[in-house]
Structure 1
Amino acid sequence: MRFIFSALFSLCFNSLLTCIPHTLFAQALALAEAKECRERQGLPNFFRKLESHKPVTIAYFGGSITEAGKGWREQSTAWFQKKYPKAKISAVNAAIGGTGSDLGVFRLQQHVLAHHPDLVFVEFAVNDAGRKPEDIYKSMEGIVRQIWQQNNTTDICFVYTLTADMAPTLQEGKFPQAASAMERIADYYQIPSVHMGLEVVKLAKNNELVFKGKPEDFPGKLVFSGDNVHPYPQTGHKLYTEALVRSLPALAITKRNFAHTLEKPFVANNWERAKMIPVKEATFSRGWQVIAANTDTVARQLQNQFSYLIKAEQPGETITIRFKGTRFGLYDVMGPGCGQYEIKVDGNPAILRARFDAFSTYYRANYFFLPDMEDTLHTIELTVSAKIMDKAAILAKRSTTIDNPAKYTSHACYASQLMIIGELVK
């Protein structure tokens, strides 16, 4: 979860929310009080199943802090398995580094709900740090409503992690803006929340922990991470797990067949209609080729993100999408051999969307959205552009030089999933 990419992933939002009870956007968001656990309605169905020795599935939904091996995800699963040895506990790793709840709400069905989880941990506070509160409301509420529309007995828990630059706000007794916005949704739907980083901040304030460094360089102290963000498993992640475990007794509320209710939305235009659709459902020109992990190095590198991926290298190759709705995006690839799209919306002049940036020394999953649209029929044309970018100049922004020119020669475009709020029209 490279939170520094958040500016590159930022969306162009033009529409104002039309309905938020008890709040005005003209007012600044009041930061939530920093509290490790807010139990609200707890996790009644999940713990009832555990205590009845029934099988349960836990989905871990977030960014790279959650995706990390040997981290709080695996550590907490191990804790549940040890605590409830008679229950069969399965875990779903539905976390993708460098992504926030804006992508999450679209991929929820494929990556989480397809597994029919009993509990969903939602962790996006770090990667949502650069987003506006009103945009966080839309995506986080969309996640909640999609989960309970599928199964209103699925329990949800929001979990918050931190970066070193969030520590001053937390030390002042307040959650940073993203977590505070998520608390509005959690409070509205009575979803429990756990901030797993408050003990980290306390230890740092007491000079018992340093946020960044090598453990061997700070004898007698805990070293949280090597980069101020991604915790070491034996220190930062361990503290995260301990915070979650401390909170679980308060969340272990058991009620028989408790049904979570969906009433009036917190925001009227939340993203509960968001869906991710394989790009093969669109219309594309003959130059697009399906690439697979057994024959293509990019597909192989990204096979955990993409089960279906197409590629075109020649300028002019086009993907055409018709849909009725308000938002369109593409889940695709950025990397050294990538070029840019020319995008036309409803026949208007084309805009360029580069799939290469200053970090593109390797291939990574990425995504972009177009600005909000009126809820009507739209035609989107994505065309591989003939315009050549100066990749050397772009990389130079981060003092990176091209050591292997052949690696950067291609200006291809890739596509995997369409992201739509609305309905695809054939």
Structure 2
Amino acid sequence: MSILHRERRTLPIGCALAVLLLALRPGIAGEAEAGADVARVFAAARAGAPLRYVALGGSITQSGEGWIGPWLTEKFPSSRVTTVNSGMSATGSALGVFRIERDVIAHQPDLVAIETCVNDDSLPDDVAIRYLESLVVRLRQLPHPPAIIFLEAAAKQGSRIQRHRQVARHYGLLEVDLQAAIDAELKRTGQDWTAFFSDAVHPNEAGNRFYARTIEQTLAPLLDKKPVDGRSVLPHPISEKPLILDGRMVPLFGITGVPGWRKNASPPFWMDAFFNGTLSASEPGAALEIPFRGTWAGVFYPMDKGYGTFDASIDGGAPLRVAPNTRGGYSLDIVGRDLPAGEHVLRITLPAPDSTPGVNGEVRLGYLLVAGEGTQ
């Protein structure tokens, strides 16, 4: 039998108190200087290390294709630069905390851009901050944490940028204020909003070029900056509630042997890229029970005006009526959040026969959204 001996060192009382206060102080930045993490990645790329760049965001990122991939390739000729466009239309940090594993972490990123400001606009401040912190901390806790930049996209009527700015500055992240850049350019040139945008938020070709130049100009001073060695220490979170650090999307396509439910291919058109097949049912009363372990659960599903509705509940609780037939596309619903840690059951049920138009009909499910498995 072997005995493991742990060495215990005692700090003087004054030093111990100082360390404790430092650890608990919420305002300490994760980096000594915004962009220090980017400078380290750029230095490695200059030396020939691969540079894997992933852009996470909504349709603004999706159409902009990450903006800076060609620039990174040009600036780091000795590096193998890979650009991954993980923009996903109509999504923000609410889905981001679940899809980050599939769409960002799986690519082993060295540099991650997060653009969710516009699509997070409807979230309450505390919820937006919690989701954003969850994204940042999860990336920072990886064995090889990537550099992170916040891209704060512009909107014609402005957006609630302060939440993203608060998180960026709390963790010492580089932020690119595209709203301020656009406003200044329109004032300088006297041009109309439509010179750069096809609607209230989506850049046109000229707008995407402007976004790319603005991001590149922000990053340019870091190209030759001497990096600061060492890994940043995470500050205490702003959020009072636990962060969501293990969210993931679990495909439901593979579930078999459930009466009334069958496998289907992914939805057609452009959104098929975001699904890995679907599980569908159409008979009234068809039920699906999905056991899960964690504190969060929801569903991600395609939408079509020809679909019916379904009820979702956890552990026999009051059901949530979900109507995936109000438009096309896809959506998500969180059925349970901050549940007691442990085992639970998500139940999906199609309503009983109902003469009300739109209640009955086929429904399709894409993913189980789950998190909190490691919560004690």
Query: Normalization by structure 1: what TM-score?
Result: 0.74
The letter of the residue matching 1:365 is: Y
CA–CA separation in structure 2 for the residues paired with 1:255 and 1:112: 24
Which residue of structure 1 aligns with residue 349 of structure 2? 383
Residue among 39, 58, 62 paired with 1:67? 62
Gaps of 5+ in 1: 1-18, 23-37, 167-175, 213-222, 392-408
- Hey, what does 2:303 align to over in structure 1? 334
Shift of 1:204: 2.6
Do the aligned partners of 1:39 and 1:251 also contact (CA within 8 Å) in 2?
no
Secondary structure at the counterpart of residue 259 of structure 2: coil
Contact 2:298–2:336 (8 Å) recurs in 1:
no
Residue equivalent to 1:171: none
The answer as to whether partners of 2:26 and 2:235 remain within 8 angstroms in 1 is no
1:210-253 C-alpha deviation (Å, 9 max, x unpaired): 123xxxxxxxxxx11221211111x1111111111111133444
Tell me by how many angstroms 1:306 deviates.
Answer: 0.6
In the alignment, structure 1 residue 245 sits paired with structure 2 residue 216: yes
Instruction: For residue 282 of structure 1, report the CA deviation from its aligned partner.
Output: 6.4
Q: 2:252 aligns with which of 275, 279, 292?
A: 279
TM-aligned CA deviation for residue 305 of structure 1:
0.4
Q: How far apart, in 2, do the equivalents of 1:115 and 1:21 lie? A: 31
Displacement of 1:330 in angstroms is 0.7
State the match for 1:419 in structure 2.
Answer: 369
CA offset at residue 260 of structure 1? 3.2
User: 1:346 Cα deviation (Å)?
Assistant: 1.9
Q: Where does residue 334 of structure 2 map in the other structure?
A: 369
Residue matched to 1:232:
204
In structure 2, the partner of 1:87 is 79
Quote how far apart the aligned CAs of 1:371 are: 4.9
The 2-side partners of 1:327 and 1:239 are apart by 39
Q: Considering only aligned residues, what root-mean-square deviation do their CA atoms show, in Å?
A: 2.6
User: Where in structure 2 are there 5+ consecutive unaligned residues?
Assistant: 1-23, 28-32
- In the alignment, the residues of structure 2 paired with residue 180 and residue 43 of structure 1 have an alpha-carbon distance, to the nearest angstrom, of 22
Paired with 1:120 and 1:249, the residues of 2 have a C-alpha distance of: 16
Name the SS of the counterpart of 2:157 in structure 1: helix
Distance (whole Å) between structure 1 residues aligned to residue 188 and residue 42 of structure 2? 36
Structure 1, residues 150-199: CA drift from partner, whole Å, max 9, x if none? 23441111111011011xxxxxxxxx42x211122212211111112322
Q: Which amino acid aligns with 1:411?
A: G
2:305 partner letter: P
Partner of 2:108: 116
TM-score, scaled to structure 2: 0.83
1:262 and 2:231 matched: no
Identity of aligned residues (%): 23
Quote the residue 2:190 is aligned against.
208
Change (3 A) 1:284 1:106: farther
Instruction: For 2:221, give the aligned amino acid.
Output: A
Write the distance in 2 (CA, Å) between the matches of 1:20 and 1:228: 39
Query: Bigger CA drift: 80-89 or 246-255?
Result: 246-255
Deviation at 1:284, TM superposition (A): 7.0
From 335, 347, 372, the equivalent of 2:316 is 347
Shift of 1:350: 2.8
Comparing 332-341 with 197-206, which one deviates more in the overlay? Answer: 197-206
1:302 offset after TM fit, Å? Answer: 3.0
- TM-aligned CA deviation for residue 382 of structure 1: 0.8
What letter corresponds to residue 420 of structure 1 in structure 2?
V
Structure 2 partner of 1:48:
43
Q: Counterpart of 1:198?
A: 180
C-alpha distance in structure 1 between counterparts of 2:80 and 2:41, whole Å? 12
The Cα of 1:384 is off from its aligned counterpart by 1.9
What is the alpha-carbon distance in structure 2 between the residues aligned to residue 82 and residue 348 of structure 1?
A: 56
Return 44-53 or 245-254, whichever deviates more. Answer: 245-254
The secondary structure found in structure 1 opposite 2:242 is: coil
Once residues 50 and 388 of structure 1 are traced to their aligned partners in structure 2, the CA distance between those partners, rounded to angstroms, is 63
Give the drift of 1:139: 0.8
Aligned residue among 257, 261, 264 for 1:288: 261
Quick one: structure 1 residues 333 and 381, their matched pair in 2 at CA, closer, same or farther if it must change by over 3 Å?
A: same
Structure having greater relative contact order (Cα 8 Å, sep ≥ 6)? 1
Amino acid at match of 1:224: F
Instruction: Tell me if the contact between 1:292 and 1:300 (Cα under 8 Å) persists in the aligned partners.
Output: no
Q: Structure 1: which amino acid aligns with 2:184?
A: K
What is the one-letter code of the residue matched to 1:196?
L
Deviations 1:48-96 (A, max 9, x none): 122112221100100011001xx362x4111111222232110111110
> What SS does the corresponding residue of 1:143 show, helix, strand or coil?
helix
Worse overlay, 309-318 or 254-263? 254-263
| Stretch moving more, 132-141 or 259-268 | 259-268
For 2:95 and 2:214, the matched residues in 1 are separated by 27
After superposition, residues 152-231 of structure 1 pair within 5 angstroms as 152-166=144-158, 176-177=159-160, 179-206=161-188, 208-212=190-194, 223-231=195-203
Distance 2:229 2:276 in 1: 36
Q: Tell me how far 1:421 sits from its aligned partner.
A: 2.1
